[in-house]
Each structure stands twice: as C-alpha cells, then as structure tokens.
Amino acid sequence: MHAHHHGHGHDHAHGSATRTFAAITLINLAYTALEAGYGFYTNSLALLSDALHNLGDVAGLALAWGAAALARRRPTERHTYGWRRATLLSPLANAILLMVFSGALGWEAVRRFSQPPSVPGLTVMVVAAIGIAVNLGAAWLVRDGHQHDLNRKGAFLHLMADAAVSLAAVLAGAGMLAFGWTLLDPLTALLVGVVIAIGTYGLLRDSFNAAMDAVPENIDQPRVQAFLAAQPGVKAVHHLHIWPLGAGEIALTAHLVRPDKGDHDAFIDRITHALDHEFGINHPTLQIEHGGGCEHDRHDPAPHHSH
C-alpha cells in the first residue's frame, strides 16, 4: 500500500507542477495585458517597463509550463531520454528573449530623459500595487522545490524580481504624485532594464552551460572521480562524464578498471545507490573493464588524463 502511494505521489507532484505553472501563467498574462494597457493609456514608461518585465516572466512561465509538460512525455525509440532537456532549453530561450527586451526598454528610457511626459502618479501606483500582489501570490505557489530545479528557480526568481519591480513603480508613482518628479518615470524604467539584464545574465549562463552538457554546478567532478577510484578493487577510472538530463536529473557514465572477477552486479548496485545518495546522480551507467586497460589505450587515441 505504502509503495503504491509513494509512486502515485510522485506522479501527482509532476501533474500539480504543470497545473500550477498553467494557472500562474494565465493569471500573469491577464495582469500583464491590463498593465500594458494602462501603461500606453497613461503614457507611463514605468508601467510599460513593469509590464515588459511581467511579459518576460509570462514567457518564462509559459516555457517552464511547456517544459514541465514535455518532460512528462514518455521516452520514445527516437527520443530515448524523453523530453527532459526541454527543462534546460526553456530557460535559455527565455533568457535570450529578456536580454533583447531589456535593451529596447533602456533605449526608450534614455530617449525620454530629455523631455519626460507628465504621468498620473495615482494610476501608476494602483496598477503597480496589483502587480505586487499578483507576483507574490504566484511566487508563493512555486516556492517548493525551486532550489533543485532550474526551471522552477527561473520562475521563482522572476516572480520575486517582478514584485520588486512593481514596488519600484509604486514608489515612482508616489514621487510623481507628491513632488511632480516626472523624471522618475523613465528613471524607473531604466533601472528595471538594468535589473532584467543583470538577472537574466545568470540564467543565460547557467542554462547555456546546462544545454552544453556541462557538469552541474552543485557537483564536484574531482570528488566523484576520487569516490569511484576509492571503491574496492578499482584500479583506474576512465571516461568519466557527468551531465544534466533535465530538471533535477543527472547522468553519469564511467569505465572502471577492476581486474578481479568478483561479483560485479552487487558492486555496481552499491555504487549506483551511493552515487544517488552522496551526489544526487540518479542516472549512472558504469562499465567494468578487466585487465590494466593497456589494450584499451591502443584503441583510444585521446590520452586519458584529458578527460
């Protein structure tokens, strides 16, 4: 009974993740449309920049939702890993999109400094305040599991940043209302552009590395190598590769030179467990080689130490 329940629970978590993304995406999209409408209507670049930030977010959430849905698709003969890589590619697409947007925003803000139009501060404050509520609510919904999943992390960080950006717009509205500082409008927009660019850079770098099969940040490759080399009977470790398959899934392949003809099955079972437990590597493939690996060297032109 317990085992069955556990399996069901795992599946349910995936399903609810997709549903959560779907709900948040749609709520955010509706709010973004409202905010952009008011931004054009009141001629407020602060509102437009916030709407843009939200749109980047909606794009990110939509990609994350699509990726979470795709990641659940079963592997096929052609896509033997399933579609998990989608959870690594979606943050990459999202980051590139946001970079382009933030540049356009900064450009418009700088252009406006010379002659900022007057903007109704109260409207800006009210609309942006709704944005704070929407974003914090959405961030609260995806808060679980965002430490381990680049996809959710992207969504969570975005939503928190959105709330902060909306707060900046509220403050700009207050300043314009109280003191008539029309410069606050393009200034806020410029700051938002910078915030988007800085935040996106980290996401761009991480998702690019993941897409290029780099060893995940939280894994220390030399430690894994040392761990494998220290296993009983192991004389050498060749061809160690570690790469991300998708959100929270890490693959490893390695050749272990183990001359004695002992029970390799139990040995591999134990290492597989240990790799998952110690390092979070949950898709290892280990190949045992007998002999000192001399003939192996003849076949392989690349020197082993380069791996």
CA distance 6 to 3: 5
- The pLDDT score that the predictor gives to residue 298 is 40
Contact 152, 146 (CB under 8 A): yes
CATH assignment of 221-306? 3.30.70.1350
Phi, then psi, of 182 in degrees rounded to 5: -70, -25
* Element holding 162 (H helix, E strand): helix 150-179
CA distance 59 to 75: 26
142-189 pLDDT, tens digit per residue, is: 776 555 666 677 677 777 877 887 888 888 888 887 877 778 778 888
Tens-level pLDDT at each residue, the chain (307 residues): 443 433 333 444 556 667 777 787 888 888 888 888 888 888 777 788 888 778 777 777 777 777 777 777 777 777 766 677 777 787 788 788 778 877 877 887 888 777 776 778 788 888 888 888 888 888 887 776 555 666 677 677 777 877 887 888 888 888 887 877 778 778 888 887 887 788 788 878 888 888 888 888 888 899 999 999 998 888 999 999 999 887 678 899 999 998 877 778 888 999 999 999 989 898 999 998 886 544 444 444 444 443 4
**Full-model pTM:** 0.59
CA distances from 293 to 76, 221, 235 (A): 35, 22, 9
Contact 269, 235 (CB under 8 A): no
Which of these, 21, 29, 18, 37, lies nearest to 58 by C-alpha position? 29
Q: What count of other Cβ atoms lies within 10 Å of the Cβ of residue 20?
A: 19
- The pLDDT score that the predictor gives to residue 148 is 60
Contact 155, 142 (CB under 8 A): yes
Equal CATH topology for 2-211 and 221-306: no
Question: Could you tell me where the beta strands, DSSP code E, fall in the chain?
Answer: 236-246, 249-257, 283-289
- The pLDDT score that the predictor gives to residue 145 is 58
**Joined tokens for residue 145:** 């599991």
- The pLDDT score that the predictor gives to residue 306 is 39
Residue 230 CB-density burial (10 A; 0-12 exposed, 13-18 middle, 19+ buried): exposed
Fold category of 2-211 in CATH: Alpha-lytic protease prodomain-like (1.20.1510)
Going from N- to C-terminal start, the domains of the chain cover 2-211, 221-306
